[in-house]
C-alpha cells in the first residue's frame, strides 16, 4: 500500500469514528438535530474513501471519478445542513441544491481535460471551497458566537484556502499521470495527510460545540420551571447569589421582590387546577414584561415568585413592582384564562451590608406577608435592620 493509501485508510477510520460519535449524540439527545445530519455527512464521506480505493482498479476511471467527487460534495453539503440545524438557522436549501447540481455538471464536463491542467484542477476544487466557505458564513450569521464558534469559522476559512491551494500544488509536483495513478503520487500523500489533520480538527471542534450547547441546554432545563417559563427555585437561588455577589463587589445596590397571587386556592377551588396553571403562567409573563433584562426572576414554588434586581434602589424596585401589580389587575379575561380578576401582593427588601441571599429573601417574604395582612393587592417594603451592621463588625463599621 502506498503512503497516500495508508493515510486514506486512516481518514476512513476517522470519518467512521465521527459518524459514530455524532450518531450517538443524536440518539442520546433527540434535540441535537444537527448531529443527525453531521453523522450522515461523515458516513457519506466514507463513500468517498471507498471509491478512492476502487479507482486504481478501474479500466474506465470516469464513473468512479465522478462518484468520488459526488460523495465528497454531498458530504460537505450535508455538513452545512447539520451546522445550520445546530445553530437554529434555516438551511439554505436552494443555494446548496444549485451548488451541487452546477458542480456535478462541471465535473462531468471536465472529465476528459488533461490531468495536469490548472483550470481543470481549479474547477474540481472550487465547489469544495465554496461549500466550506458557506459553512463559515452560516456560523457567522449567528450573532451570539463564542470562542469555539469563532475557532470553527477560522478553521473553515483555512480549509477553504486549502482546497484553493491544491491546484497550485498539483501544478508544482503533478497529481499522477492518470486517475488510476493518483494514490501512488506525492500529491495524493500531501493531500490525504492535510485532509487527516483538517478532518480531525473540524470534527472535534463541531463535536465540542454540540456537546457544549447540549450541556448548556440540559442545565437550563434543569433550572427552568416548565409552567411559568421562569427559573425554578434552584436556578433562581444560584443565579441570584451570583448577581448579589457582583453587586456587593461593585458597591452597587440590589433589591429583592417576593410576590404571590392573591386567593390562589380559591382560583383552584372555583375554576379547577387547569385554571390555576393558566394563572401561574399569566403571572410569569407579567413578571417577565415588568422587569428589565438584568433581573433574575424565578418561581419559588406554588404561587410564590421572587425577583432580584441588581443595581436597583428602593424607588426603582417599588416602581417595577407597582407596574407588575397593575398589569396583572388589567389583564383581560382571555389573557387570564378565566372570568375572575387576578390580583397580587409584593414584598420588597433592599440589600443591606453583609446580608446573605437567604436573609434578604426572608425580609422580602416578611414584607409580602405584611402586604397580605393589610388587605392584599399592594406593595409593602421591609424595614431597614441592623443585621448587616452587626455582621460587619467594628472594623468594617469604622472603615465605612
CA 91 to chain centroid: 16
**Distance (Å, whole) CA 29 – CA 214:** 8
Q: Which residue is catalytic, options 52, 303, 352, 355?
A: 303
**Distance (Å, whole) CA 262 – CA 245:** 32
Q: Is 289 a catalytic residue?
A: no
Pairing of strands 344-350, 379-381: parallel
Which among 380, 381, 392, 394 has a CA at the least distance from the CA of 355? 392
Active site residue ranges: 303
Amino acid at each position: 500500500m502506498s503512503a497516500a493509501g495508508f493515510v486514506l485508510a486512516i481518514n476512513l477510520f476517522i470519518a467512521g469514528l465521527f459518524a459514530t460519535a455524532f450518531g450517538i449524540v443524536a440518539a442520546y439527545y433527540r434535540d441535537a438535530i444537527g448531529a443527525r445530519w453531521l453523522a450522515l455527512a461523515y458516513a457519506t464521506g466514507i463513500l468517498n474513501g471507498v471509491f478512492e480505493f476502487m479507482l486504481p482498479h478501474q479500466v474506465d476511471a470516469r464513473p468512479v471519478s465522478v462518484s468520488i467527487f459526488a460523495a465528497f460534495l454531498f458530504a460537505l453539503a450535508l455538513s452545512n445542513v447539520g451546522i445550520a440545524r445546530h445553530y437554529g438557522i434555516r438551511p439554505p436549501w436552494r443555494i446548496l441544491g444549485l451548488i451541487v447540481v452546477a458542480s456535478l455538471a462541471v465535473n462531468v464536463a471536465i472529465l476528459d481535460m488533461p490531468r495536469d491542467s490548472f483550470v481543470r484542477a481549479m474547477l474540481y476544487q472550487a465547489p469544495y471551497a465554496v461549500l466550506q466557505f458557506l459553512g463559515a458564513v452560516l456560523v457567522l450569521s449567528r450573532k451570539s458566537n463564542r470562542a469555539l464558534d469563532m475557532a470553527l469559522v477560522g478553521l473553515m476559512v483555512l480549509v477553504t484556502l486549502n482546497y484553493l491551494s491544491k491546484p497550485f500544488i498539483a501544478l508544482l509536483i503533478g497529481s499522477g499521470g492518470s486517475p488510476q495513478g493518483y494514490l501512488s503520487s506525492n500529491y495524493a500523500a500531501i493531500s490525504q495527510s492535510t485532509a487527516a489533520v483538517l478532518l480531525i480538527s473540524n470534527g472535534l471542534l463541531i463535536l465540542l460545540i454540540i456537546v457544549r450547547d447540549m450541556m448548556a441546554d440540559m442545565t437550563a432545563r434543569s433550572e427552568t420551571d416548565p409552567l411559568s417559563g421562569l427559573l425554578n427555585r434552584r436556578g433562581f437561588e444560584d443565579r441570584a447569589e451570583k448577581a448579589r455577589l457582583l453587586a456587593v463587589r461593585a458597591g452597587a445596590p440590589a433589591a429583592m421582590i417576593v410576590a404571590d397571587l392573591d386567593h390562589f386556592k380559591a382560583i383552584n377551588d372555583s375554576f379547577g387546577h387547569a385554571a390555576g396553571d393558566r394563572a401561574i403562567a399569566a403571572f410569569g409573563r407579567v413578571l417577565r414584561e415588568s422587569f428589565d433584562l438584568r433581573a433574575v426572576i424565578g418561581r419559588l414554588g406554588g404561587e410564590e415568585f421572587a425577583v432580584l434586581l441588581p443595581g436597583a434602589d428602593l424607588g426603582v424596585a417599588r416602581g417595577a413592582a407597582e407596574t407588575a401589580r397593575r398589569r396583572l389587575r388589567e389583564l383581560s379575561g382571555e389573557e387570564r384564562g378565566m372570568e375572575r380578576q387576578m390580583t397580587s401582593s409584593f414584598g420588597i427588601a433592599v440589600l443591606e451590608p453583609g446580608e446573605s441571599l437567604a436573609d434578604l429573601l426572608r425580609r422580602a417574604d416578611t414584607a409580602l406577608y405584611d402586604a397580605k395582612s393589610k388587605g392584599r393587592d399592594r406593595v409593602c417594603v421591609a424595614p431597614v435592620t441592623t443585621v448587616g451592621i452587626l455582621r460587619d463588625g467594628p472594623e468594617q463599621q469604622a472603615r465605612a
